Amino acid sequence: MVDQVRLLSPQDVLDGALDHPILAEGGALDDAVMIIDLDQPMSEAVAVAAAAKVLECDRVVVGRCTSAPDTATRTLAQALDTTVAAYSDSEIREFVSVDDLDAELAVVFERFHENPYASVVASQVLRMGETLSIPAALDVESLAYSTLLGTPDFRRWLEGRGPRPLPPPAPQEPVLIDRRDALLHITLNRPERRNAYGAQVRDGLVAALQLALMDSSIEKVLLDGAGPSFSAGGDLDEFGTTPDLAIAHLIRTRAGAARLMARLADRIEVHVHGSCVGAGIEVPAFAHAIRAHPSTVFRLPEIGMGLIPGAGGTVSIPRRIGRWRAYHLFVSGTAINVDRALEWGLIDQITAE
């Protein structure tokens, strides 16, 4: 797939390689993703001009870089959606360092072409979210998510999964609350469903967070999960079951946990373990401190379903690791371990406790 995509130089960008319309006849996407060769020498003036062209275009633009970047290279890389690089530096958030550039690009491009609309929308949402307040960025995420629920890509995923019964009621309290002096301890408590972020867990978590918001004597909130995983993300048996997308948008944004987590961020510490999938890292990423067990694994699989992260991940994740690495995680769907999560700033500490 990568060898079918033209590798552009910065000068190609200035010459108009990105300027043609992204939509072909019938609304199909045309050359929706491009690669720029960042190993090409360029002046700072060329980099600035090319970066401006990239930011004006509708396409997803990915960089490829094999060496340590100079100032001009970083200027252009910062305008791209992500850059796959052979060079490793945790401080250069525009770069995702990998062992095999072309193999990694092949994975990204395969996923992109399986779900092109979600991949393009994810780029747009991440770019817009950089300059918005958290509540406004959450609204943009949710509106985009609602739009993607109507695409053939999501319908294909839903049909391929087959009909599922709705999750049964929780056999116990889905979220536990323990108040001890100034500490509020919140535990996700549906281990039989790997603490999936379904309606009952979401509502229980929201109620607990509202308690902390209303009570200023609560100085610290500790959030963790019972069972083998902190959270396996959204409950897949609930996907596609809301008939009214406008109501679903309001539930996601006004009755979800993301806004409350952001408002309480300075007081919240999250302890994660096992699988943290989708919402299982999107929601914790708002907190000021995340401690992870050494065996924890993180993954954001939503684009593979024809969607984007919808529990706040397009807002919380890039604010921790940058929109470039966030976009790579979204589109590649790759799982990362605690070492990479710590290197990038997705978590703050690795601890076996």
pLDDT tens-digit readout, 125-173: 999 999 999 999 999 999 999 999 989 999 999 999 888 888 888 899 9
Mean pLDDT of 13-39: 92
Across the chain, mean pLDDT equals: 94
- Mean pLDDT of all residues in 209-230: 97
Residue 166: the pLDDT is: 85
Summarised one tens digit per residue, pLDDT across range 276-333 is: 999 999 999 999 999 999 999 999 999 999 999 999 999 999 999 999 999 999 999 9
Residues 6+ away with beta carbon under 8 Å from 174: 188, 189, 190, 200, 201, 203, 204
Residues 6+ apart with CB under 8 A from 27: none
Q: Which of 111, 116, 110, 105 is nearest to 23 (CA)?
A: 116
For Cα atoms 312, 185, 341, give the angle at the middle one, nearest 5 degrees: 45
SS3 62: strand
Percent of the chain scoring above 90 in pLDDT: 86
CATH architecture of 134-350: Alpha-Beta Complex (3.90)
* DSSP code of residue 167: P
The whole-number pLDDT of residue 164 equals 84
- Minimal CA–CA distance to 93: which of 104, 85, 105? 85
User: What's the rounded mean pLDDT across residues 80-100?
Assistant: 94
The residue behind tokens 């999560």 is 341
- Those residues whose C-beta lies under 8 Å from the C-beta of residue 74, and which sit 6 or more positions away, are 92, 94
Residue carrying the six token digits 């000021």:
288
Supply the pTM of this predicted model.
Answer: 0.96
Q: Give residue 335's pLDDT.
A: 96
Q: For residue 185, what are the β-bridge partners?
A: 178, 222
pLDDT at 26 > cutoff 90: no
Q: What is the distance between the alpha carbons of residues 266 and 220, in angstroms, rounded to a whole number? A: 9
